[in-house]
Amino acid sequence: MSTHDAAAEPLDYRVARLGEALAAGPLGELGVRLDVRGGTVLVEGTVPSARCRDDVCGLVRGELADVPVHCDILVADASAPDHAEEVS
């Protein structure tokens, strides 16, 4: 994603475009949301690995270098359960 004149474009538009790029790009991340909260961008959601979390946060911070970014992305636990679930 290129920043043609990012400072001139409203932050909401930049964030929306970046969210679309995350979903459609090589990361294909549909489980991540970007929200503008008082001049700060909050990145939330769940991803499959720590590397994916780092890639998403790095991309967002790189594209929005002039804006404070707070990444609150969780890594999904894909390990096998250690006990049986009781169903009643």
The predicted model scores a pTM of 0.75
- Comparing 28-37, 49-58, 59-68, 76-85, which segment has the lowest mean pLDDT? 76-85
User: What is the count of structural domains for the chain?
Assistant: 1
Is the pLDDT score of 83 beyond 70? yes
In a domain, 12, yes or no: yes
Candidates 35, 20, 28; CA nearest to 55 is: 28
**What pLDDT is recorded for position 6?**
59
| Rounded Cα gap, residues 19 and 77, in angstroms | 24
Domain holding 40: CATH number? Answer: 3.30.1340.30
**Is residue 5 very low, low, confident or very high in pLDDT (cuts 50, 70, 90)?**
low
In a domain, 38, yes or no: yes
**What pLDDT is recorded for position 1?**
47
In a domain, 86, yes or no: no
Domain, as residue range, for 43: 6-75
In a domain, 61, yes or no: yes
In a domain, 58, yes or no: yes
